[in-house]
Structure 1
Amino acid sequence: MRRSKRPAPGDDQWPNKIRSGSASPYSARHDPDYSLYQSPPPDSNGFHSAQQTPVSSPRATSRQHASGSRQGYHFPIREISDPDRKIPVPRSPDPDPDDDVPYEDTKMLLQPETRPISQEQLVNEVKGIYAGLVMVEKKCVEICQQQAQTTNKLSNEQWQALIALHRTLLHEHHDFFLASQHPTASPALRRLPTKYAMPARMWRHGIHSFLELLRHRLPYSLEHMLSFVYLAYQMMGLLMESVPAFHETWIECLGDLARYRMAIEEADMRDRETWSNVARTWYNKAADRSPDTGRIQHHLAVLARPNIVCQLFYYSKALISVNPFPNARDSIMLLYNPLLEMSSHKGPPVKQESTLSKYSKFDSSLVTAAGILFTKGSIHDYCVHITQFTLELDNHVTRSGSNWKVQGTEVASSLIACMLDFGSEENFLWKAFRTHHDKLNGKTDRPSMDIGHNTDLTTKEDSHRKFWKDNSINTKDFRQAAPAAGDLPDLKFTSADDVTSYILPVWSTTVSIVAGKLGDRNILPFMHLTLAFLWSLSYVPGALVYLENYVPWAKLVLSLNTLSRSGVVDAKIEAKEFPQQQSGTGRQLPEDFPMRGLVWAPYYFPSDFFEGQVVDEDERTLELPSHAAPRAERCLWLGVRLASLNRYMTYNVTTKQFGCTEFAESLPGNASMNTLHVLPPTVERDVSMTDV
Structure 2
Amino acid sequence: MLVHRLEGNFQVQGRQQQPQQQRRPWSDSLAHDSSQQRPLQSQPSNAREEPSSEFNQLTLADQYRTSNQISDSMRRSKRPAVDQDSCYPNKKDDRGSGSPFSVRHEQALSHATSPPPALTRTPTPSQGYRSTQRTPLSSPKLPPPAPASGPRPHSRQPSHLHSGSLPQDGPLEGDTKMLLQPETRPISQEQLVNEVKGIYAGLVMVEKKCVEICQQQSQTTNKLSNEQWQALIALHRTLLHEHHDFFLASQHPTASPALRRLPTKYAMPARMWRHGIHSFLELLRHRLPFSLEHMLSFVYLAYQMMGLLMESVPAFHETWIECLGDLARYRMAIEESDMRDRENWSNVARMWYNRAADRSATTGRIQHHLAVLARPNVVRQLFYYSKALISGIPFVNARDSIMLLFSPFLDKYETTSQKYLKVETSLVTAAGVLFTRGFVHDYCLHISRFASELDGTINRTGSNFKIQGAEMASSLIAMILDFGSDENFLWKALCADSENNKQRQMEGQSDQPSGTNPSEDPVAKSQMRRKFWEQNDPINLQDFVQATAPLGDRPGVKFSSSDEVTSYVLPVWYQCISIVAAKVGDRNILPFLHFTLSFLWGLSDVPEALIYLENYVPWDKLVLSLNSMSRSGVVDNEVEAPGFPQQQSGTGRQLPEDFLMRGFKWSHCHYYDPEFFEGQVTDEDDRTLELPSHAAPRAERCLWLGVRLASLKRYITYDSSSKQFSCTEFTQALPPVSLTNTFQVPASLENGEDTSMIDVV
**TM-score range relative to shorter protein:** 0.7 to 0.9
The one-letter code of the counterpart of 1:499 is V
Determine the structure 2 residue equivalent to 1:596: 662
Determine the structure 1 residue equivalent to 2:476: 415
2:292 aligned with 1:292 = no
SS in 2 for 1:110: coil
Determine the structure 2 residue equivalent to 1:462: 527
Aligned-partner Cα distance in 1 for 2:620–2:600: 15
Aligned-partner Cα distance in 2 for 1:7–1:540: 42
2:465 aligned with 1:395 = no
SS in 1 for 2:148: helix
1:270-669 matches, cutoff 5 A: 270-343=340-413, 352-353=414-415, 355-442=416-503, 455-470=520-535, 472-602=538-668, 603-669=670-736
Q: CA deviation at 1:460?
A: 2.3
The one-letter code of the counterpart of 2:318 is E
Q: CA deviation at 1:61?
A: 11
2:238 aligned with 1:168 = yes
Q: CA deviation at 1:651?
A: 1.0
Aligned-partner Cα distance in 2 for 1:532–1:296: 22
For the 8 Å contact 1:452–1:606, the answer to whether it is kept is no
Aligned-partner Cα distance in 2 for 1:566–1:126: 64
For the 8 Å contact 2:458–2:465, the answer to whether it is kept is yes
Structure 2, unpaired ranges of 5+: 1-27, 39-99, 113-133, 507-515, 749-761
For the 8 Å contact 1:478–1:542, the answer to whether it is kept is yes
Q: CA deviation at 1:216?
A: 0.9
Aligned-partner Cα distance in 1 for 2:238–2:565: 52
1:137-174 per-position Cα deviation (integer Å, ceiling 9, x unaligned): 11111111111111111111111111111111111111
1:457-502 per-position Cα deviation (integer Å, ceiling 9, x unaligned): 4442222111101362122221000111111111111111011001
Q: CA deviation at 1:67?
A: 12
Instruction: Specify whether residues 452 and 12 from structure 1 end up closer, same or farther in structure 2 by C-alpha distance, changes over 3 A only.
Output: farther
The one-letter code of the counterpart of 1:180 is S
For the 8 Å contact 1:583–1:626, the answer to whether it is kept is yes
2:33 aligned with 1:11 = yes
1:354-377 per-position Cα deviation (integer Å, ceiling 9, x unaligned): x22211111011001001111111
Aligned-partner Cα distance in 2 for 1:155–1:679: 64
For the 8 Å contact 1:13–1:263, the answer to whether it is kept is no
The one-letter code of the counterpart of 2:689 is L
SS in 2 for 1:336: helix
Q: CA deviation at 1:670?
A: 2.3
TM-score (norm 1): 0.85
Aligned-partner Cα distance in 2 for 1:543–1:391: 28
Aligned-partner Cα distance in 2 for 1:673–1:478: 28
For the 8 Å contact 2:160–2:191, the answer to whether it is kept is no
SS in 2 for 1:295: helix
Determine the structure 1 residue equivalent to 2:335: 265
Aligned-partner Cα distance in 1 for 2:160–2:718: 65
SS in 1 for 2:210: helix
For the 8 Å contact 2:619–2:727, the answer to whether it is kept is yes
1:172-214 per-position Cα deviation (integer Å, ceiling 9, x unaligned): 1111101100111000000000000000010111101111111
For the 8 Å contact 2:630–2:699, the answer to whether it is kept is yes
For the 8 Å contact 1:38–1:161, the answer to whether it is kept is no
1:49-60 matches, cutoff 5 A: 54-56=153-155
SS in 2 for 1:214: helix
Instruction: Specify whether residues 675 and 60 from structure 1 end up closer, same or farther in structure 2 by C-alpha distance, changes over 3 A only.
Output: farther
Instruction: Specify whether residues 551 and 60 from structure 1 end up closer, same or farther in structure 2 by C-alpha distance, changes over 3 A only.
Output: farther
Aligned-partner Cα distance in 2 for 1:282–1:215: 22
SS in 2 for 1:36: coil
Structure 1, unpaired ranges of 5+: 1-5, 40-50, 79-89, 91-105, 344-351, 446-450, 682-692
Aligned-partner Cα distance in 1 for 2:316–2:235: 24
For the 8 Å contact 2:505–2:517, the answer to whether it is kept is no
RMSD (Å), alpha carbons: 2.7
Instruction: Specify whether residues 377 and 300 from structure 1 end up closer, same or farther in structure 2 by C-alpha distance, changes over 3 A only.
Output: same
1:109-164 per-position Cα deviation (integer Å, ceiling 9, x unaligned): 43121211110111111111111111111111111111111111111111111111
Determine the structure 1 residue equivalent to 2:24: none
Q: CA deviation at 1:403?
A: 0.3
1:218-246 per-position Cα deviation (integer Å, ceiling 9, x unaligned): 11111111011001001101101110000
Instruction: Specify whether residues 665 and 628 from structure 1 end up closer, same or farther in structure 2 by C-alpha distance, changes over 3 A only.
Output: same
Aligned-partner Cα distance in 1 for 2:698–2:147: 57
For the 8 Å contact 1:649–1:660, the answer to whether it is kept is yes
The one-letter code of the counterpart of 1:489 is P
Q: CA deviation at 1:455?
A: 4.0
Aligned-partner Cα distance in 2 for 1:515–1:473: 28
SS in 2 for 1:524: helix
TM-score (norm 2): 0.77
SS in 1 for 2:395: coil
Aligned-partner Cα distance in 2 for 1:441–1:7: 40
SS in 2 for 1:542: helix
For the 8 Å contact 1:13–1:259, the answer to whether it is kept is no
For the 8 Å contact 1:380–1:678, the answer to whether it is kept is no
For the 8 Å contact 2:552–2:742, the answer to whether it is kept is yes
1:597-625 per-position Cα deviation (integer Å, ceiling 9, x unaligned): 01111201111110111111101111111
Determine the structure 1 residue equivalent to 2:19: none
For the 8 Å contact 1:484–1:675, the answer to whether it is kept is yes
Determine the structure 2 residue equivalent to 1:448: none
Determine the structure 1 residue equivalent to 2:144: 32
SS in 2 for 1:580: coil
For the 8 Å contact 1:14–1:260, the answer to whether it is kept is no
For the 8 Å contact 2:329–2:345, the answer to whether it is kept is yes
For the 8 Å contact 1:37–1:164, the answer to whether it is kept is no
2:260 aligned with 1:148 = no
Aligned-partner Cα distance in 2 for 1:13–1:266: 23
1:35-63 per-position Cα deviation (integer Å, ceiling 9, x unaligned): 42558xxxxxxxxxxx9xx553575898x
For the 8 Å contact 1:336–1:368, the answer to whether it is kept is yes
Name whichever of 12-21 and 421-430 sits farther off: 12-21
Instruction: Specify whether residues 161 and 307 from structure 1 end up closer, same or farther in structure 2 by C-alpha distance, changes over 3 A only.
Output: same
Instruction: Specify whether residues 112 and 605 from structure 1 end up closer, same or farther in structure 2 by C-alpha distance, changes over 3 A only.
Output: same
SS in 1 for 2:448: helix
Q: CA deviation at 1:387?
A: 0.8
Aligned-partner Cα distance in 1 for 2:747–2:581: 31
Structure ID, larger Rg: 1
Instruction: Specify whether residues 633 and 475 from structure 1 end up closer, same or farther in structure 2 by C-alpha distance, changes over 3 A only.
Output: same
For the 8 Å contact 1:483–1:672, the answer to whether it is kept is no
Instruction: Specify whether residues 452 and 31 from structure 1 end up closer, same or farther in structure 2 by C-alpha distance, changes over 3 A only.
Output: farther
